[in-house]
Amino acid sequence: MLFKKKGLFDERDALKVIEMASRQNAGEIIVMCERITDSARRRLWDYARGVQLMSDLTGEKREVKIEILEGYVSDRVKGVEL
């Protein structure tokens, strides 16, 4: 899933992204933003690590790949606007 945010991507935005991605069981989260806070970055990585740990405990093979594209937000790319 691709999420776009013009401006600062903060922890509240990260929580929204995690909520939407967890509902759809997304295997990949891509965040395109101009700037991202350290707490938002940490929140996304913690979610990915939590999914991996829970899948290890339950025996299923599931992981979430996190990709953060910082610096430029393209209007031509289709994604969820935050």
* Domains recognised in the chain with CATH numbers: 2-73 (3.30.750)
Specify the pTM.
0.88
Output the 3-class SS for the chain: CEEEEEEEECHHHHHHHHHHHHHCCCCEEEEEEEEECHHHHHHHHHHHHHHHHHHHHHCCCCCCEEEEEECCCCCCCCCEEC
For the stretch 1-58, pLDDT in tens is: 999 999 999 999 999 999 999 999 889 999 999 999 999 999 999 999 999 999 999 9
pLDDT of residue 17: 96
